[in-house]
């Protein structure tokens, strides 16, 4: 783990410490801090930032092998802003065998007195901690309780993010991924945006010598910081999941057909608006491909 870094005009020196407490120092032209939401580099750069911003929502995740539901390739999202359930198949091999390896996420509100726990992907939980809240939830072809109970392991973590930073790059040091822009896990953008960070960063550093590295980091930041800041803020509005809230508010007692509540054009506009923010609209993607 990173303990601390120091830099001068020519290089950066990172002090690392192993799990058994052995420290080493490494010298480099640049330091790319991709050390997650608990980033030590970010904490050194912004010591007064404090703890992550909690939505007071808690996520439970698991993976279950089961019989396929609906088409066998269907993604299900149900619920509203306060509570939802999302699941989708993640294995072509299981599909070819007539089964489904399904990733699922249950999102519930925390209790009024529940405190923020450390953001840890490896904290295990039990189904009964949240499954009773889904009593009475029905979806054709999907047995929610069976899906949850069929998981070998269930993991719990709070849904947190941080406010966008004014800058990531300080001399020969910059941030990327969750260290730079932790966001709510909506729209599959946590890993996606980190991958885009890496691509832009690699493009800017390619062919750059040590003297030009700080300027390359600034160009990377100029490209990626405003884009990811938009996504952080959009995800606070629940991104494309906002469509579920539309139906909750307009048809709380149910409906016969989706178009009785929202037109096809409105649904497409909601999806297109978010795609534009995250850079996945057709025009943006095509422009990127022309530049490859």
DSSP per-residue codes, 62-100: EEEEE---TTTT--EEEE-SS-EEEEEE--HHHHHTT-E
The mean predicted confidence, pLDDT, of the chain is 90
Give the helix, strand, coil percentages of the chain, each rounded to 5. Answer: 40, 25, 40
- For residue 95, give both structure tokens: 């599909």
Q: Which CATH class is domain 53-161?
A: alpha beta
pLDDT digit string (tens) for 22-45?
Answer: 999 999 999 999 999 999 999 999
pLDDT digits (tens, 9 = 90+) for 160-216: 999 999 999 999 999 999 999 999 988 777 888 999 999 999 999 999 999 999 999
Report pLDDT for 83. Answer: 93
Q: How far is CA 246 from the centre of its chain?
A: 23
Indicate left, alpha or beta for 56 from its phi (over 0: left) and psi (-120 to 50: alpha): left
pLDDT given for residue 269 in this prediction: 86
- Could you tell me the pLDDT band of residue 122, with boundaries at 50, 70 and 90? confident
Crossing angle of the two packed helices 264-278 and 242-250, in degrees rounded to 10: 150
Least confident stretch, 88-102, 152-166, 243-257? 243-257
| CA geometry: angle 14, 160, 242, nearest 5 deg | 135
Q: Record the tokens describing residue 160, joined without a space.
A: 């947190």
Q: Give the DSSP H/E element, type plus range, for residue 224.
A: helix 213-236
Highest mean pLDDT among 6-15, 76-85, 121-130, 273-282 belongs to 6-15
| Chain centroid offset of residue 281 CA | 19
Do residues 66 and 100 lie in contact, with contact meaning Cβ atoms separated by under 8 Å? yes
The whole-model pTM stands at: 0.82
Among 5-14, 47-56, 65-74, the range with the most confident prediction by mean pLDDT is 5-14
Give the C-alpha separation, 49 to 36, whole Å. Answer: 15
Tell me, which fold does domain 2-52+162-236 have in CATH?
Answer: FAD/NAD(P)-binding domain (3.50.50)
Counting DSSP H helices and E strands in the chain, the numbers are: 8, 10
- The residues carrying an active-site annotation are 88
Q: Give the pLDDT band of residue 282 (cuts 50, 70, 90).
A: low
User: Cβ distance 161 to 54 under 8 Å?
Assistant: no
Give the residue extent of every domain in the chain: 2-52+162-236, 53-161, 239-290
The predicted-structure confidence for 52-96, as pLDDT tens digits, reads as follows 999 899 999 999 999 998 999 999 989 988 899 999 999 999 999
What is d(CA 262, CA 146) in angstroms, rounded to the nearest whole number? 31
Q: Are 182 and 52 in contact (CB under 8 A)?
A: yes
Whole-angstrom distance, CA of residue 155 vs CA of residue 122: 6
Between strands 173-175 and 31-33, the pairing is parallel
Contact 187, 278 (CB under 8 A): yes
């Amino acid at each position: 783990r990173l303990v601390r870094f120091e830099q001068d005009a020519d290089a950066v020196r990172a002090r690392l410490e192993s799990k058994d407490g052995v420290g080493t120092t490494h010298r480099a032209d640049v330091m790319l801090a991709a050390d997650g939401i608990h980033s030590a580099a970010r904490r050194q750069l912004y010591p007064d930032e404090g703890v992550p911003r909690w939505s007071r929502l808690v996520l439970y995740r698991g993976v279950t092998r089961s019989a396929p539901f609906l088409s066998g390739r269907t993604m299900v999202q149900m619920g509203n802003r306060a509570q939802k359930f999302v699941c989708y198949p993640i294995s072509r091999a299981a599909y070819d065998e007539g089964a489904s390896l399904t990733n699922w996420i249950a999102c519930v509100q925390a209790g009024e007195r529940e405190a923020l726990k450390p953001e840890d992907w490896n904290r295990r939980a039990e189904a009964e901690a949240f499954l009773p809240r889904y009593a009475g939830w029905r979806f054709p072809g999907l047995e929610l309780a069976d899906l949850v109970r069929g998981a070998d392991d269930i993991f719990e973590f709070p849904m947190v993010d941080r406010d966008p930073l004014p800058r990531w790059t300080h001399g020969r040091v910059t941030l990327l991924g969750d260290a730079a822009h932790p966001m709510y896990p909506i729209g599959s953008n946590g890993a996606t945006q980190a991958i885009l960070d890496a691509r832009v960063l690699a493009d800017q550093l390619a062919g750059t010598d040590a003297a030009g590295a700080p300027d390359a980091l600034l160009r990377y930041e100029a490209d990626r910081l405003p884009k990811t800041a938009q996504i952080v803020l959009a995800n606070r509005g629940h991104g494309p999941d906002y469509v579920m809230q539309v139906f909750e508010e307009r048809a709380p007692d149910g409906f016969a057909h989706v178009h009785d509540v929202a037109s096809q054009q409105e649904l497409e506009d909601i999806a297109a608006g978010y795609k534009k923010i995250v850079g996945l609209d057709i025009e943006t993607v095509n422009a990127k491909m022309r530049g490859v």
